[in-house]
A and B are shown apart, each in its own frame.
Chain A
Amino acid sequence: MADPAQFTSLFVKHERQLYGFIAAMLGHPAEAEDLLQETAKGLWKKFSDYDPSLPFLPWAKKFARYEVLNYLGRQRTRRKYFSDEMVELLAEDWDRVDSQHDARILALECCFEALPENSRRLLNDRYRDANSLQEVAAQEGTTPNALYKTLQRVRNGLRACINRRVAEGAN
């Protein structure tokens, strides 16, 4: 019989990656949480089929990919989402991106600390408690559009810094 403790341990360990995988395929991160829950239930139902000698994440990603394609197939507004072909392409590329994630996290910690204090505060306000752009804009006394442009610049800068650090580390 499948061991729930083992399942929860494995699932929790890879939850972040599975959520990221689903959100990227969907193109609508807000809908990823529901799908992650459906994926978890499907994985649990089939957990007795899982070979513990093999890595959990590739096995789990297959289910996640199926859930995404299944979900997209049921959508009334299909043009709101990527095509099935694009989902498959992104699924293939995702492994490559995920393999660099540890290095990128380390770089992000450094790059984040190197940001001006205003920029760090802005990012924390935006992302803490899933505040919406509108809410943060109201707090900052600006418009959502203007705030979005500012956030965009900060995030572009962060990504450039991360890319530089990762490239330096590779060399």
Chain B
Amino acid sequence: MSDLARVEDLAQRVADGLANEAMIAELEALMREDESARITYLQTLQLHQDLERKAARGTLSDDPVLVELPRDFRKSPSHSWGPALAMTGSLLAAVVVWVWLAGQGGDAEINEPHIATITRLDQVDKPLAYHQPFEPGDRIAFNTGFVELTYRNGTRLVLQGPVNYTLEDADRGRLELGSLAAEVPPGASGFTVVTPSAEVKDIGTRFAVVLLDTGRTEFEVFEGEVRARSTAGSVSKSFKKGETAAVDDGATDVQSISTNLIRFRGVYDALNQHTVNAVADRFVQGGKHVDLVPIDGQDVLMLKQLGANNDVARKVWICFDLSEQSVDLDRPATLTLHTAKDLKRESWDVQLYGLKSGFKPGKGIQNIDWREETLTWNNAPGNDAGSPVQMNNAAALITSGEIRVDPENEPAGSFFTFTIPSLKPFMQEDGTVTLMLSTATGRHKVLLLSAREHETFAGPLLSFETQKQNIN
């Protein structure tokens, strides 16, 4: 099959929703240097959409086809819908009505999904969970530690306890206590933090805000620019990178102040921490299953060993893709794992290994480019197939630690962390890091951890620091 024919085949699978990761990777490889391949791909998808349109409307014409709107949307006092609208489905009808009613001052809105989720937890004293969603009006409050929220528009907010913060809507939040730092990407500028004394609006930047006990608001701009005003005044002022300012409670003016290096250090450092999900994770089983991909649910990772042989041993492989991150390889990183099931009071001594950088597959079948669909005990990179616990010398032991579970104190979804002193020894050329787990504790019960596919609990997470910029 020629390359273009293969592109067309793969493009049709994309259009039919049948393309898996390997096909997407193959398609990208075929299109990367070949413009005609990309044109073929785009034309194939375009044909697919035209055929859908023709089947739905009976024509490919752009002339409007008026459709009765769902009753629920008719909340405007006027029953005139303005311009004639070509409606091609309830989605478009919903968008159009939302826009029309917003312009009319109507209060009917499409129900918005959550606007932000928790993407990192660091020694927080409240029972918050990774990926916990927040809707407009939700409040988050805790006394110690750091929480990172990521908004749907890409804005990252780091809150430092003690803190009380309300997510008013997708681009506005209210700080009633404590401090936060924000990183606002291009396209989401305009994100605003409000305190009782001040309003700080981002113009495309990183900044931090603290509300002191006296009611005074202080803020510093790390990158870009903000516009700020007192809630008691109306004039807003612009502040740029390196500038610090304050608004006293009841004051009408925003005043520049000298920078306090300590004031924002905590949230600034926390903002430099990033967390990524695993891109692949799988467990493998020894004994008679050494050449088989386990058929148990993909949403869990099993750890077990019992006895000196590997008949029932299970080890875990986890891959993180850091190729698009500016990782500070000299700083520690943290691996976070969640239990997937309530367990009896048990403990496991878990060994964490890393596949050494520069790994080259040997004559055997161990391959760095491992995939969840094909990983087995025998082909897992770095695995010592003769040991229920250890890896071979392509891997290095990073640390070991106890995972102790007790359904009363650590119910399913509890998380445990392992510190990796540096990611440098484990960074592969393609920007991936592969970590492995085994257990040195023999138990009849298997330790179940949540995989990235788990619907309820977060899968393995890797937190690391990015390369620092000077705070001032």
Q: Are A128 and B55 in contact (CB under 8 A)?
A: yes
Question: Please, what's the 1-or-0 string for A121-133, where 1 marks a CB less than 8 Å from any CB in chain B?
Answer: 0011011111001
Tell me the smallest distance from the CB of A156 to a CB of chain B, in Å.
7
Given contacts A37-B91, A127-B51, A155-B12, contact A78 B99 (CB under 8 A): no
Contact for B98 among A41, A93, A133, CB less than 8 A: A41
Contact for B47 among A40, A66, A130, A162, CB less than 8 A: A162
Q: Are B95 and A73 in contact (CB under 8 A)?
A: no
Contact for A80 among B24, B52, B55, B85, CB less than 8 A: B24
Instruction: Count A-side interface residues using an 8 Å CB cutoff.
Output: 72
A window 59-111: CB within 8 A of B: 63, 66, 70, 73-74, 76-86, 89-90, 93-94, 96-97, 101, 104-105, 108-109
Given contacts A74-B150, A79-B321, contact A155 B47 (CB under 8 A): yes
Decide yes or no whether B54 CB sits under 8 A from chain A. Answer: yes
Decide yes or no whether B245 CB sits under 8 A from chain A. Answer: no
Question: Please, what's the 1-or-0 string for A141-155, where 1 marks a CB less than 8 Å from any CB in chain B?
Answer: 000000010011001
Given contacts A8-B99, A27-B14, contact A97 B277 (CB under 8 A): no
Compute how far the CA of A38 lies from the CA of B113 in the bound complex, rounded to whole angstroms: 11
Q: Are B102 and A93 in contact (CB under 8 A)?
A: no
Tell me the smallest distance from the CB of A63 to a CB of chain B, in Å.
7
Contact for B56 among A97, A128, A151, CB less than 8 A: A128
Given contacts A93-B38, A94-B42, A159-B44, contact A44 B102 (CB under 8 A): yes
Chain A residues positioned under 8 Å from B50 (CB to CB):
104-105, 108
Compute how far the CA of A33 lies from the CA of B91 in the bound complex, rounded to whole angstroms: 7
Tell me the smallest distance from the CB of B274 to a CB of chain A, in Å.
11
Chain A residues positioned under 8 Å from B38 (CB to CB):
89-90, 93
Decide yes or no whether B232 CB sits under 8 A from chain A. Answer: no
Decide yes or no whether B153 CB sits under 8 A from chain A. Answer: yes
Compute how far the CA of A33 lies from the CA of B110 in the bound complex, rounded to whole angstroms: 15
Compute how far the CA of A9 lies from the CA of B47 in the bound complex, rounded to whole angstroms: 25
Decide yes or no whether B398 CB sits under 8 A from chain A. Answer: no
Chain A residues positioned under 8 Å from B25 (CB to CB):
79
**Which B residue sits closest to A20, measured CB to CB?**
B49
Contact for A97 among B8, B46, B279, CB less than 8 A: B46
Chain B residues positioned under 8 Å from A130 (CB to CB):
52
* Pair count A-B, CB < 8 A: 183
Tell me the smallest distance from the CB of A78 to a CB of chain B, in Å.
6
Chain B residues positioned under 8 Å from A33 (CB to CB):
91
Q: Are B55 and A42 in contact (CB under 8 A)?
A: no
Decide yes or no whether B223 CB sits under 8 A from chain A. Answer: no
Question: Please, what's the 1-or-0 string for B179-192, where 1 marks a CB less than 8 Å from any CB in chain A?
Answer: 00000011100000
Contact for B19 among A8, A27, A38, A133, CB less than 8 A: A27
Contact for B94 among A12, A37, A76, A82, CB less than 8 A: A37
Most buried by A among B39, B49, B277: B49
Decide yes or no whether B452 CB sits under 8 A from chain A. Answer: yes
Decide yes or no whether B471 CB sits under 8 A from chain A. Answer: no
Q: Are A108 and B99 in contact (CB under 8 A)?
A: no
B window 31-50: CB within 8 A of A: 31-32, 35, 38-39, 41-50
Given contacts A2-B103, A27-B24, A36-B91, contact A127 B46 (CB under 8 A): no
Cross-chain pairs A/B with CB under 8 angstroms, 5 sampled: A16-B62, A30-B17, A78-B279, A148-B16, A148-B18
Footprint of A on B, CB under 8 Å? Answer: 8-9, 12, 14-21, 24-25, 27-28, 31-32, 35, 38-39, 41-56, 60, 62, 82-83, 85-88, 91-92, 94-96, 98-100, 102-104, 110, 150, 152-154, 185-187, 277-280, 321, 324, 452, 459
